[in-house]
Amino acid sequence: MEFAGKTRENRTFDAIVIGSGMSGGWAAKELCERGLKTLVLERGRPVKHREDYPTAVKDPWEFRFRGRIPHDELERNPIVARCYAYDETTEHFFVKDEEHPYLQEKPFDWIRGYQEGGKSLIWARQGQRWSRYDFEGPARDGYGIEWPITYDELAPWYSHVEHFIGWSGNKDGLDHLPDGEFLPPFDLNCVEKEIKEKVEAAYSNRHVLHGRCAHLTELRQIHLQQNRGLCMARNLCYRGCPYGAYFSSNSATLPWAENTGNLTKRTHAVVESIIYDEESGKASGVRVIDANTKEEEEYYARIIFVNAACLNSNLILLNSKSNRFPDGLGNDNGLLGRYITFHNYRGSLVARMDGFEDQYYYGRRPTQAIMPSFRNVYGQDNDVDFQGKYLIAFGAARQNWQRGVREEHIGADLKREMAIPGGWNVFMMMQGETVPRYENHVRLSETETDPWGIPQLITSVDYTENDEKLLQDFLTQGAEMLETAGAKNISTMDTRQAPGLDIHEVGGARMGKDPETSILNEWNQIHGCKNVFVTDGAAFSSVAIQNPSLTFMALTARAANYAADEMQKGNL
């Protein structure tokens, strides 16, 4: 239900969740299921599943600019305009540049979605489990601190999340990219199968897998209970899916939480800070500024989950100052906001594949083929001069129509030409691990504030020489593998895009075993304030190569159930 009432009693709950997106929805679901009266605070507007997806079933000719963004709007919003999913059909789910300003000490494209459901409405829906090597790698190879949890501890929670969401994929039996609770995968097409066969025959340690994604390719009982439907392979997902076929907070976790009768939602609620009670040594609540009226309010709870998305979670914690924590909540060691990591997406290749012109494919599959890392997996390889790993994603498709359509072809002649598909192209891209660095950080401005009077965030995040070496290795190895598979006209590209456009930024409030080197413990609790949990990407100690969403949903489910247990024991 929506929030109503001004009395302190009406503003007091068992739990408060800051953010309603990917991880916030999971926190709400788990806490409400455990019987906790839970308030979800969302800084954006309400978005009701199905009813508030205004472009979901529109045809191209129903858009004034046929899906494109007008030039004047692109000029006003150069940051969000660089996002692959931002266009006339989706722009209502993205934050425009001027709506929430921030300061870039170094170029950083901060992509945000402020509405109920957050970026779960516009995410790419891909995800893979981390393996034991991803948790062990940073400390093992000397480029990060030791994670305080293991794969075995998180594996049951991966299963818990996958079962509820509906995750499509294939059982591949690889220990460095573990299998999950999979629905049937989207199949590879004929050219992708050819590449898989040739690459795996030529390299003993390289594997081509079906993409793994949060789409319902088959309906199980749990999905029927959520009133969700099968994926139609429309690939219009960023508009909001009326079938509920891909996972979003709006279609799955928030309605599930609401059905318990324990959920209260407060939208247009910009969280200014977390209130720390000096006497009890705990957080007592959250200070909120109404997004429209600018009126200040406070809400109270025994436990608080911070799920505002990585950089906003860091911002809130940094701005939560008190006598006990003058530099931000839990920031005893001065590391809050430090060690921001992200994925290096700069490298890509394109190529032509001859033949296969008697074959085509069905639908617009929402995933690609993937190759888990073959570099530095089990330890630092002797034959490479960089740390970390990279995942490869690729897809093959036929050109829309034969090239060389003559100018004089119009009307029926043009239609006939367009009905004949062209040859096959391959597109390959990297998802590279960046190494945690103290220098890569965010902090609060001392002079500039946003429209709600909150200090603006300063981003200071950049690539390193290590990232450049990893990029070059991908371009070299990618070209070699495409050539081995029979591709022609192979070309490589470095986009030189700024960090942030990957939309996989993590860290700043990292988990760890030692309070001297981390902000959170193994249960995602702030070391110095145990009733505050941070379970979105801000909690990551390193970024690995996998898409991060599945991991922070699993971390959230695990932490929420631990919090409920601790409350029952009287420890929180």
Average confidence (pLDDT) over 61-73: 93
Average confidence (pLDDT) over 463-480: 98
Number of domains in the chain: 1
What does DSSP say about strands 38-41 and 263-266: parallel, antiparallel, or unpaired? parallel
**CA neighbours closer than 13 Å in the CB half-sphere of residue 513:** 8
User: Around Cβ 384, how many Cβ atoms within 10 Å?
Assistant: 14
Query: In which residue are the tokens 């691990």 written?
Result: 433
- For residue 465, the enclosing domain spans 13-568
| In the predicted structure, residue 246 carries a pLDDT above the cut 80 | yes
Q: 10-24, 216-230, 334-348, 351-365: which range is least confident on average? A: 351-365
Contacts of 35 (CB under 8 A, 6+ apart): 260, 262, 564
Task: Judge whether 4 lies within some domain.
Answer: no
**CA neighbours closer than 13 Å in the CB half-sphere of residue 10:** 10
H or E element, residue 23? helix 22-33
Among candidate residues 22, 213, 41, the one with its CA nearest the CA of residue 113: 22
| In the predicted structure, residue 405 carries a pLDDT above the cut 70 | no
Average confidence (pLDDT) over 434-446: 98
Q: What would the pLDDT profile of 538-554 be if each residue is shown by its tens digit?
A: 999 999 999 999 999 99
Q: What would the pLDDT profile of 127-137 be if each residue is shown by its tens digit?
A: 999 999 999 99
**CA neighbours closer than 13 Å in the CB half-sphere of residue 188:** 20
Task: Judge whether 440 lies within some domain.
Answer: yes
Task: Judge whether 7 lies within some domain.
Answer: no
Task: Judge whether 249 lies within some domain.
Answer: yes
Q: How far is CA 470 from CA 7, 160, 345, 476, 542, in A?
A: 56, 34, 11, 10, 16
CATH code where residue 541 lies: 3.50.50.60
Q: What would the pLDDT profile of 425-439 be if each residue is shown by its tens digit?
A: 999 999 999 999 999
Among candidate residues 251, 203, 260, 210, the one with its CA nearest the CA of residue 227: 251
Query: Which pLDDT does position 408 carry in this prediction?
Result: 64
